[in-house]
C-alpha cells in the first residue's frame, strides 16, 4: 500500500511512500492529488517522513521506522550551531540524527511563523511530545 505524503516546505510537492520497501517516488503532476497521509521533510542531510498508517502515527528516518506510541518521546539537543533529534521508545534510544538547521529569516514578519516552520525535526519532536497534536494529525490524515 502506497501513501501520499506532502512536503512540509512546498504545499504542491507530493510523493508516494511505500512503507513495505521504504521507496519514495514523486507523484506525477498530472495525477489528481490523492488524500494525504502525512508529511515529509529534511533535517540537514536526513529525510524524515511522519505519516499515518493503521490509525497510528509513524516516523521513518535514518533507515528506521518508529511507531509513535504513548511510550515514545523526543527531544532536540542543541550543540553550538548543530542539533540532534533523539527519539526514545520506552526509555530506549530508537533514533539519533545530527543535523544543522537551515537559518530562518531573522525577524520574519509572516504571521504565525515559528521555529517549527524552519526546522522539520523540531516539528516532529514536538508532535511526538504532544498527544493532543498527534490526535489532530490522526483526524486529518487519510
Domain boundaries, the chain: 3-140
56-103 residue pLDDT tens: 999 999 999 999 999 999 999 998 889 999 999 999 999 999 999 876
Phi, psi angles (nearest 5°) of residue 49: -125, 120
Integer Rg of the chain from CA: 15
pLDDT for 9 beyond 90: no
Helix residue ranges, H only, the chain = 115-118, 120-128, 131-140
The verdict on domain 3-140 having CATH code 1.20.140 is no
Note the pTM of the prediction, 2 decimals: 0.90
Measure the N-to-C terminal CA separation of the chain; round to a whole number of Å: 13
CA nearest to 41, candidates 29, 51, 55: 51
Measure the CA–CA gap between 20 and 39, rounded to whole angstroms.
17
Amino acid at each position: 500500500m502506497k501513501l501520499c505524503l506532502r512536503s512540509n516546505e512546498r504545499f504542491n510537492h507530493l510523493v508516494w511512500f511505500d512503507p513495505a520497501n521504504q521507496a519514495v517516488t514523486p507523484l506525477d503532476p498530472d495525477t489528481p492529488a490523492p488524500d494525504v497521509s502525512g508529511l515529509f521533510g529534511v533535517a540537514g542531510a536526513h529525510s524524515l517522513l511522519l505519516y499515518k498508517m493503521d490509525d497510528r502515527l509513524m516516523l521513518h528516518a535514518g533507515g528506521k521506522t518508529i511507531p509513535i506510541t504513548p511510550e515514545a518521546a523526543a527531544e532536540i539537543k542543541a550543540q553550538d550551531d548543530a542539533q540532534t533529534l533523539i527519539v526514545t521508545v520506552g526509555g530506549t534510544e530508537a533514533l539519533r540524527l545530527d543535523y544543522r538547521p537551515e537559518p530562518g529569516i531573522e525577524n520574519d514578519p509572516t504571521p504565525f511563523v515559528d521555529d517549527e516552520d524552519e526546522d522539520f525535526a523540531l516539528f516532529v519532536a514536538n508532535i511526538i511530545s504532544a498527544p493532543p497534536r498527534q490526535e489532530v494529525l490522526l483526524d486529518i490524515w487519510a
